[in-house]
Amino acid sequence: MPEIILNANISGAGSYILPFLLIGILAALAVFFAVRSFTLTYKYKSSGGSSKSRGGSVLSFGVGKVHEQGRRRYQQDSFGVSDMALVNDKGLLAIVADGMGGLDDSGKISSLAVERILDGFAIYNGSATQEQLLVMLAQGAVEDINGFLGEENFRKSGSTLIMAYIKNSYLSFLSIGDSRVCLLRDGVLYRLNREHIFKNELALRAVNGRIPLADAYTDKNAAGLTSYIGMGNIQKMDIPSSPIRVYPGDRVAVMTDGIYNSLSDAEISAAISGDAETAAQYLKDAVEAKALANQDNYTCVVIECR
């Protein structure tokens, strides 16, 4: 895992043979210089918006987007990025939703989810933590979509949902389903969320001796979603225990399975290592180069931290 600093303990130490006054002076100096060395301050800067946070250093964003139909008859993926003019006060929010193929009108559900969340983010004016805000936005989307479908249509249509939210140099996320958020740092790609798929349930059954281990990896339904918007009550949701510090040079990629099922982690890492707009083009080129006969819709938002 990357060296993700969530909090730091900085302390000074004195010699047992020094007088207490000298110990106190040395400890104070140690703390002073440690804080000067380790405190990072940022402001956000992007086209249309910037904000100061804890000082004067600059964290810039580049945003790249790839959104393609692949070889499917319909585009059921949806995505959105918050207005750059809101970065000053609210940070940057990226959303990706993957409508479920084989169900009715799932592209409409993914679109509704993205629209509801972007609208909620734009008008939100409270003081919730990053996690709380993401939960509130997801709650609004789930309630709206459940109302749109009606209980009689639960599980007849559906979409995954994943949000990545960067504010004051910290990343938080929320995921429902099997869309993915990754962090690229120093050339290593880290998957941050779990996939809510039946394979994991099968693996648990195998661990408990209820089925043979081989069955957990050969079941034809292993890739089926166990949590998604449109099923009524959400069964699983991933959020980090604490926001993750991001630094210049990091890349955050929010993607549907049409990306990661077509490309290896190494291929994704290579594609998104440059600037954000180039990363999006490289991802598209890499998927198209595979020329898969049944290429799924594929969508990715790449956030470049500078």
Task: Say which CATH number the domain at 261 has.
Answer: 3.60.40.10
Of the chain, the percentage scoring pLDDT greater than 90 comes to: 75
Q: Do residues 274 and 173 both lie within one domain?
A: yes
Do 137 and 233 share a domain, yes or no?
A: yes
Per-residue pLDDT tens for 149-161? Answer: 999 999 999 999 9
One domain for residues 211 and 172: yes
Range of the domain at 246: 43-305
Shared domain check, 189 and 206: yes
Q: Residue 154, class by beta-carbon neighbours within 10 Å (0-12 exposed, 13-18 middle, 19+ buried)?
A: middle
Together in a domain, 136 and 159: yes
Q: How confident is the model at residue 258 (pLDDT cuts 50, 70, 90)?
A: very high
**What's the rounded mean pLDDT across residues 108-118?**
98
Confidence tier at 87 by pLDDT (50, 70, 90) = confident
Q: Kindly state whether residues 26 and 122 are assigned to the same domain.
A: no
Instruction: Determine phi and psi for 65, rounding to 5 degrees.
Output: -140, 135
pLDDT at 51 over 90: no
Decide: 179 and 160 in contact? Cβ < 8 Å. Answer: yes
Phi, psi of 278 (to 5 degrees): -65, -40
In terms of Cβ atoms closer than 10 Å to its own Cβ (0-12, 13-18, 19+), residue 158 is: buried
pTM exceeds 0.85:
no
Taking a C-beta distance cutoff of 8 angstroms, is the pair 84, 60 a contact?
no
**Is the per-residue pLDDT at 239 higher than 70?**
yes
Tell me: do 66 and 198 sit in the same domain: yes
Residue 54: the pLDDT is 36
Instruction: Indicate whether 49 pLDDT > 80.
Output: no
Longest C-alpha distance within the chain, in Å? 79
Are residue 220 and residue 291 in the same domain, yes or no? yes
Residues 32 and 118 in one domain: no
In the chain, how many domains are there?
2
The verdict on 28 and 91 lying in the same domain is: no
Report pLDDT for 59.
73
Angle, in degrees to the nearest 10, between helices 130-149 and 106-123: 140
**Are 217 and 252 in a shared domain?**
yes
User: Has residue 23 got a pLDDT over 90?
Assistant: no
The alpha-helical segments, DSSP class H, found in 191-304 are: 198-207, 213-218, 257-260, 265-272, 276-290
Give the mean pLDDT of the chain: 84
- Domain shared by 145 and 15, yes or no: no
Q: Which tokens sit at 200?
A: 């994991």
pLDDT band at 60 (very low <50, low <70, confident <90, very high): confident
CA dihedral 245→274→121→133, nearest 10 degrees, is: -20
